[in-house]
A and B are shown apart, each in its own frame.
Chain A
Amino acid sequence: MYNILKKELNGFIFSLIGFIVVLVFLVTNGLFIWVLPDMNLFDYGFATLDTLFNIAPFLFLFLVPAITMKSFAEEKKNGTIELLFTKPIRDMEIVIGKYFACVLLVLISLLPTLVYYFSVYNLGNPIGNIDSAGFFGSFLGLFLLGSVFGSIGVFCSSLTDNQIVAFLLSLIVSYLFYQGFDLLSGIAEKGSFTILISQFGIQYHYQSFSKGLVDSRDLIYFFSIILFFLSATRLKLESRNWR
């Protein structure tokens, strides 16, 4: 597993994908939070990083599929997946190795935003006037959201040998999970299923985190979605042996 993880990370670094993803993520966030008029923190006047947590999911929606789209699709296209299959490692190790490489990249792109926290912490009046629990809750939520997108991306990548198809597919599925269910629940506003449907979506749980509340139900939701897609990926890889 570690050797797969290491190989994938090397791939991110040498192909510059890793740098570009982190760069795009930070530059866009930085622009929205600090620079662009009307939207930036100084004009807004409140010591909060809500902008970050509202924009970052949409950035991840595009960046995470971009990271994961090549994980299996490229190997399938090049035929190198056969090499991995013939080696003495389990399918799940391949999946988890590739998945963790993506999660690690999400984490790396998130870590520098801690600087934003300290900036706002010190810019507050009085100093430290920031909802720390809200920030760290959202931070965890954002990380889990990226991880869920990652698992969706890895799964979609295993379905096809075309990277563009993999990208678009994971974009759609990720969006369905991020906002789709929430929007769907809005159709039957007064129905009894409204909450149930919206609970299927990430938005519902993500918002719960942003209140600074780390609820085990939300954690279980994120972890079960991740586990579901990783198992589905393994199943897809295993299907080569089905007759």
Chain B
Amino acid sequence: MYVLESLEFTASLYSLGKNKHRIASVIDQVGLGKEQTKKIGQLSKGYRQRVGIAQAIIHDPEVLILDEPLTGLDPNQIVEIRTLIKELGKNKTVIFSTHIMQEVQYLCDKVVIINKGKIVADKTLKDLQVNDDSTKIVVVEFGNIFDSGSLKSLKGVIEVVFQTENQAKILYAPEHDIRPDLFNWAQQNNNAILSLKTEEESLETIFQKLTS
């Protein structure tokens, strides 16, 4: 079946059969212009995905439900389809399922995580990342070897985990920012901080935590 033919067929099922303008605009919207005279079977997965999306939006629904729209696509196609979904999301409600967390980060406002049929999280993306931070993490690289005992005595520090002999992962309570204290501590102990970076909990780890 040809792309154009299949879209005309779908349109006719919604009694839009004679509305050539609508079909043309949908083809334009999903970027199928050049491929519209090809057979669907000949298209690459990304383009087939577009045909599917085109069929789904031809009658301009208010809600669009997509089941893993980005799986099996190559990186370029992912970017294109992602932009398309983002575009569609401007004036439609788009519900889509995925297990690629970067996509969630990029596309979603609200996240629902389901584990074994039960909803384990139902929050906005921001809340999900912030609320779950019961501890904050900072990775520090010092100039010299140091003693973890006195580091632990700093206010708010929960745990110090050595990664190498002069680099440590410090977990601390979120109420108090320990980074200025760390600088002072380093100065007092004749040490230097070579690098310091806060580690945000990624959606992957949040997902793992919630579903394990």
Contacts and interface: CB of A to CB of B under 8 A. Distances in A.
A24 interface: no
B9 interface: yes
A3 B17 contact: yes
B12 A3 contact: yes
A220 interface: no
Contacts of B14: 87-88
How extensive is the interface on chain A, given as a class?
A: under 10
A7 B1 CA distance: 9
Contacts of A88: 13-14
A11 B2 CA distance: 10
A10 interface: yes
Interface string A124-148: 0000000000000000000000000
A89 B5 contact: no
Interface in A3-61: 3, 6-7, 10-11
A11 B55 CA distance: 19
B1 A11 contact: yes
Contacts of A83: 10, 55
Contacts of B12: 3, 6
Contacts of A11: 1
Interface string B13-40: 1100100000000000000000000000
Contacts of A6: 9, 12
Nearest to B9: A7
A3 B9 contact: yes
Contacts of A87: 10, 13-14
B8 to A, nearest CB: 9
A6 B10 CA distance: 12
B1 A3 contact: no
A6 B8 CA distance: 11
Interface string B189-212: 000000000000000000000000
Contacts of B5: 10
Nearest to B41: A78
A176 B52 CA distance: 42
A53 B210 CA distance: 72
B1 A89 contact: no
A87 B58 CA distance: 12
Interface in A166-214: none
Contacts of A10: 5
17 contacts: A3-B9, A3-B12, A3-B13, A3-B17, A6-B9, A6-B12, A7-B9, A10-B5, A11-B1, A83-B10, A83-B55, A87-B10, A87-B13, A87-B14, A88-B13, A88-B14, A89-B13
Given A3-B12, A11-B1, A87-B10, 14 more contacts: A3-B9, A3-B13, A3-B17, A6-B9, A6-B12, A7-B9, A10-B5, A83-B10, A83-B55, A87-B13, A87-B14, A88-B13, A88-B14, A89-B13
